[in-house]
Amino acid sequence: MDYVELNIELKTLEPWRDILVSQLAEKGFESFVETKTGLQCYIPQKNFEDSMLVDLEHMEAIQKLETKVIQDQNWNATWEENFDPVLVEDQLAIIAPFHTGEFSQGMVITIQPQMSFGTGHHQTTWLASKRFFDLDLEGKRVLDMGTGTGILAILAEKLGAKEVFAPDIDEWSYHNAQENLALNNCKNIEVALGDDQLLKGRTFDVIVANINKNILLQHFANYAEVIVDEGTLLISGFFETDQADLIEAASKVGFIFEYIFTKDEWALIQFRMNKRT
């Protein structure tokens, strides 16, 4: 599959770099690499339209926009040039097969970098990974909605989850997640290709959804149907300024707000499902 690379040079990096990641993710861009001058953003060529850039062309913060096609066979080398180990404090190191050396973190997960979101570099994936270490996942059934590379599903299994269901709507992510499960010798994860309709008939103790605000708003009712009483829902993929809308929508289907965690203006919210009679 060929991809379009959108290269954005910014006059001011913050907060515009994070704002653009959020906006472009909603347009269908799947992967983002921070550069010294801005961002490199990637979307399957078949999904790209010039009209996606119209609103960007009038943003004062943007110095320059350039696009080019990345041939499928060239992608791995391009990504490896920009993929550094991700360290979640002293608890987790997310590395690629080509990284060498010792890591002092208590757990190491290997991810084959491909064209999918969720390698740990983004703040929201980091936040979700960090929060997993503070949850009791031993023997739990976990849903990793929109799994991307599978990093959160893999981490859930390593932290003791007995079953992990990891769907994604993107075929590339589906295959990459399967590859990463093999790299980490995972046994209890089911990767699937599809959306929240795949959840029917299933039950989960913990749900993590690192997607984006609009999709989360659409999914809350389905999450409520498949989570157990007192179950935990973690949502991320949005700015902390979006929290009020998301908390209000989640509360309407029975979720109780517990905590919000932030990193560089991005947020993760933890909910508990109310007891149902």
Model-level pTM? 0.76
Domain count, the chain: 2
pLDDT at 57: 85
Residues 146 and 208 in one domain: yes
- Asked if 146 and 209 touch (Cβ cutoff 8 Å), the reply is yes
Q: What is the CATH number of the domain that holds 22?
A: 3.30.70.920
- The alpha carbon dihedral of 217, 246, 142, 147 has a sign of positive
* Span 54-76, average pLDDT: 83
Q: What is the CATH number of the domain that holds 174?
A: 3.40.50.150
Q: How many CA atoms lie within 13 A of 188 on its CB side?
A: 19
pLDDT at 15: 79
DSSP E strand boundaries for 202-252? 204-210, 227-239
- Asked if 28 and 11 touch (Cβ cutoff 8 Å), the reply is no
* Domain assignment present for 91: no
d(CA 256, CA 176): 34
pLDDT at 117: 47
Closest by Cα among 158, 124, 128, 156 to 142: 156
The residues, ordered by sequence, that sit 6+ positions from 127 with a Cβ below 8 Å of its Cβ are: 236, 261, 262, 263, 266, 267, 268
Residues 176 and 60 in one domain: no
Structure tokens that stand for 107 in this block: 């757990």
Indicate the length of the chain as a whole number. Answer: 277
d(CA 118, CA 129): 11
* Domain assignment present for 64: yes
The pair phi, psi for residue 223, each rounded to 5°, is: -60, -40
Domain hosting 72: range is 3-78
DSSP symbol at 119: S
pLDDT band at 132 (very low <50, low <70, confident <90, very high): very high
Over residues 161-207, the pLDDT tens digits come to 999 999 998 887 898 899 999 999 999 999 999 999 999 999 999 99
Over residues 18-33, the pLDDT tens digits come to 789 888 988 888 777 7
Least confidently predicted of 51-55, 120-124, 137-141, 218-222:
120-124
